[in-house]
Amino acid sequence: MSRPEPVVVEPDLDDAGLAAALAEGAGRVLVTLRDAVDEADDEFDPNQLKAEGDARSQAWLASQLLRARGDDLVLSEEAVDDVARLDADRVWIVDPLDGTREFAERADGSWRTDFAVHVALWERGGGLTAGAVGLPARDQVFDTSRPALPDMRDTADVLAGRRPLRLAASRSRPPAFVAALAERGDVELVPMGSAGVKVVSVVDGTVDAYVHGGGQYEWDSAAPVAVAEAAGYVCTRLDGSELEYNRENPWLPDLFVSHPALAAHLRQLLDVVGATNQEGVQP
């Protein structure tokens, strides 16, 4: 049964509320598309579903942002980059569909759930000030107004060697240094899909940390980082330097997201396997 189409977002919401409403609404667009595939009970083209998901989610987000925050600029994976954003005071950084492969893939007869919608606000002088990550297939939205603060109870077990550090990892393209970490007995890799899902898995306690090398774009991490930072998690480059957004080149070479009690421990492990800032190769 198809879910209802997203409602029009109210413009009088505060920025965090708007981000959450946008992430939820775009998620409805995406899940409705997959419901239509199920109802057709036919063979489907995954590439067509990916393209349609990207396009429809982008169109809905763009229309709602124009209505609710018409004076703000937007940086999106699925839109032409407006360089006027470099001089703007407020820029929304969005990914209408993070994890296109996961969105269009079935596993054992069921749709995968590890894809996301990202909506973040960058403000001059403030950095990432609001954001939301929607997990449409799981009916979840994580946003900066309702942070899930870190649970400190079992981090001592990691530091004492009583359990391994759980690290979110790419199912298909883990960086070489992550593979090196996996060879250690004190690190357990937990494979999962999109970048947003990986960062949220740190926030909800599924894993302890997520590290990435090889490069991403700003829209891949802005909203997840906003949510994680609001909840008190450590979000930096691999070497501990600050993540910067709304740059002329939106390429971000690497990412480090960790439970605050385990950040120093994880950095030591990364040093042992020789992981440094990853410049990567920009596509």
For residue 5, what pLDDT is reported?
A: 60
- Given this model, what pLDDT does residue 199 score? 98
Closest CA to 122 of 133, 114, 131, 113: 131
* Of 104, 78, 109, the residue nearest 93 (C-alpha): 78
- Tell me if 65 sits within 8 A of 80, measured CB to CB: no
**Higher per-residue pLDDT: 91 or 278:** 91
Q: Residues marked as binding for Mg(2+)?
A: 77, 95, 97-98, 220
Q: What is the average pLDDT score of the chain?
A: 93
Higher pLDDT, 78 or 176: 78
Could you tell me the CA-to-CA distances from 80 to 83, 119, 131, 137 in Å, in that order? 9, 17, 21, 28
What is the reported pLDDT for 175? Answer: 84
Q: What dotted CATH number matches 155-272?
A: 3.40.190.80
> Is pLDDT larger for residue 227 or for residue 10?
227
Mean pLDDT of 138-162: 88
15/129 Cα distance (integer angstroms): 8
Domain ranges for the chain: 15-143, 155-272
What CATH number does the domain located at 15-143 have?
A: 3.30.540.10
Would you say residue 56 has pLDDT above 90?
A: yes
Radius of gyration in angstroms for the set of CA atoms belonging to the chain, rounded to a whole number? 19
Determine which helix (DSSP H) or strand (DSSP E) holds 234, and give its type and residue range.
strand 234-236
Task: Give the pLDDT band of residue 70 (cuts 50, 70, 90).
Answer: very high
pTM of the shown model: 0.94
pLDDT digits (tens, 9 = 90+) for 202-229: 999 999 999 999 899 999 999 999 999 9
CA distance 98 to 131: 15
User: What is the per-residue pLDDT for 6?
Assistant: 65
* pLDDT digit string, tens, across residues 77-135: 999 999 999 999 999 999 999 999 999 998 888 999 999 999 999 999 999 999 999 99
Residues 232-251, mean pLDDT to the nearest whole number: 96
List of E strands, 138-186: 140-143, 165-170
Q: What is the mean pLDDT of residues 230-247?
A: 96
pLDDT at 139 over 80: yes
**pLDDT score, position 41:** 67
H-helix segments, 41-175: 46-68, 100-103, 155-159
Residue 154 has pLDDT above 50, yes or no: yes
Pick out the residues of the known binding site. Answer: 77, 95, 97-98, 220
Give the rounded percent of residues in the chain with a pLDDT score beyond 70: 94
